[in-house]
Amino acid sequence: MDTSVIEIAVQTMIICAKLCAPILIMSLAVGLAVSLFQSVTQIQEVTLTFVPKLIGVGLVLMLGGHWMLAELVGFTNHLFDMLPRLLQSA
C-alpha cells in the first residue's frame, strides 16, 4: 500500500512537470526577450511584459492543449484502473 501511494505521488509530480514545462519555458523565453528589448531600448515599462507573455502562453495552450489534455486523461484513466488493486490490498 505504501509503495502504491509513493508511486502515485511520483507519477503525479511527473505529469505535473510535463504539463507545466511548455508554459513555463515559453513564459521564461518571452520574459527574457522582452527584458533584453527593454534594456536595449531603455524603455522601462512594467506592464510591457504582460501582453507578450499572455500571447505566448495562449499560443502554447492552443498548440499543445490537445496533448496536455490527452496526457491528463490518460493519467486519470490509469488511476481509475489502479483503483481495484488499491482497494484489494487495503
> For position 48, what pLDDT does the model report?
83
Q: What is the pLDDT of residue 23?
A: 96
Helix (H) or strand (E) holding 59: helix 50-89
The pLDDT, as a whole number, for residue 90 is 67
pLDDT in tens, 31-83: 999 999 988 988 888 788 899 999 999 999 999 999 999 999 999 999 999 98
| Mean pLDDT, residues 7-19 taken together | 95
**pLDDT in the model for residue 76:** 95
Looking at residue 12, its pLDDT comes to 95
How far is Cα 17 from Cα 6, in angstroms, rounded to an integer? 17
C-alpha span between 50 and 71 (Å, rounded): 28
